[in-house]
Amino acid sequence: MLLCMRTTIDLPDELMRTAKQKAAEDNTTLREIFDRALRQYLAGPQPQKPFKLKLKPLPRNKMLIPESMLESREKLFDFLDGLG
């Protein structure tokens, strides 16, 4: 048997409007919106997935930057722009 407790809380008008709008968009009730939000808050911070860097190998002929490209930023930037 599921028992529910009724209570009254004061919320800023803008928060209530936003919650009602979200409930309508998700075709759910305000009760469900608040239930999920409170449960998520009480569960504490969720561990985030570690960031995974995806490396794109360069073609063999563009693996090394010619030394002449390192003489100025503009030459280097032009060279790097051409890699994309």
Distance between CA atoms of residues 29 and 75, nearest Å? 60
Instruction: Enumerate the domain spans of the chain.
Output: 13-43
Nearest to 67 by CA among 50, 84, 55, 79: 79
Across the range 57-83, mean pLDDT stands at 71
Average pLDDT, the chain: 83
pTM: predicted TM-score of the whole model, two decimal places: 0.50
Q: Copy the structure tokens of residue 39.
A: 């449960």
List, for residues 8-49, the tens digit of each pLDDT value.
999 999 999 999 999 999 999 999 999 999 999 999 988 888
